[in-house]
Amino acid sequence: MKKWIVPVVMLAVLLAGYVVAGPYLTFRAIRSAVQTQDASALSDQVDFPALRASLKAQLSDRLVRAVGIDGQSGMLGAIGLTVAGGLVNGAVEAMVTPVGLGALMEGRKIWNRIGDGIAHPDVADPSTVAGERPQPLQRAEYRYESTSRFTATVRDDQGRPIVFVMTRNGLRWKLSDIRLPL
């Protein structure tokens, strides 16, 4: 009767270990996919619809706060916000790509990343040593926020935090949110 207890306990310990190590393994897979610019490998690790929705909401909120109540009250302000909202959607679509995510994970601005040696292999990136590519999430601070939420925080070039949020669905972890320093 006691023979089945040891395998069950071992299985539970292994399963718990996998769940605890899951976010680290997922960030490692994301880092590898970004470095090799493998879009299919990256899409396995990122919940793109949730990520895009989150970023659109953050940027739209920032836009509305920047315009203020006075700018929103008139007809011209409402039209301007609608046009700007379309630009926000386009910016998010451009940012949520392997190159865009790689730039954010390195704490760099996306437009700097597009102009460096990643987009143009013949041009060396001055921030790297001997032409090596930067490492995404190299200096990240990792932490669990709950049993199904995990974050990695990197600093941008001005020292502001960019927080990458992973959520667990079953046993799989996926990048589902990026909190920008707005």
- DSSP string covering 35-104: HHT-HHHHHHHB-HHHHHHHHHHHHHHHHHHHHHHHHHHSHHHHHHHHHHHHHHHHHHHHHSSHHHHHHH
Average pLDDT over residues 151-177: 90
Q: Which carries the bigger pLDDT value, residue 161 or residue 122? A: 161
Are the CB atoms for 109 and 156 separated by under 8 Å? Answer: yes
3-class state of residue 128 by DSSP: coil
> Cα(18)–Cα(23) distance, rounded to whole angstroms?
9
Indicate whether 165 pLDDT > 90.
yes
Q: Which carries the bigger pLDDT value, residue 99 or residue 58? A: 58
Indicate whether 145 pLDDT > 90.
yes
Q: How confident is the model at residue 168 (pLDDT cuts 50, 70, 90)?
A: very high
Best CA proximity match to 92, nearest among 139, 58, 136: 58
Q: Which carries the bigger pLDDT value, residue 107 or residue 99? A: 99
Tell me phi and psi for residue 181, to 5 degrees.
-80, 75
> Cα(76)–Cα(70) distance, rounded to whole angstroms?
11
Residue 152, classified by CB atoms within 10 Å of its CB into exposed (0-12), middle (13-18) or buried (19+), is: buried
Are the CB atoms for 88 and 54 separated by under 8 Å? Answer: no
> Cα(16)–Cα(181) distance, rounded to whole angstroms?
33
Q: Which carries the bigger pLDDT value, residue 99 or residue 160? A: 160
Best CA proximity match to 56, nearest among 166, 178, 181, 161: 178
pLDDT of residue 177: 93
Q: How confident is the model at residue 180 (pLDDT cuts 50, 70, 90)?
A: confident
Q: In this predicted model, what pLDDT tens digit does every residue of 18-61 receive, in sequence order?
A: 878 999 999 899 888 877 878 788 888 989 889 989 988 888 88
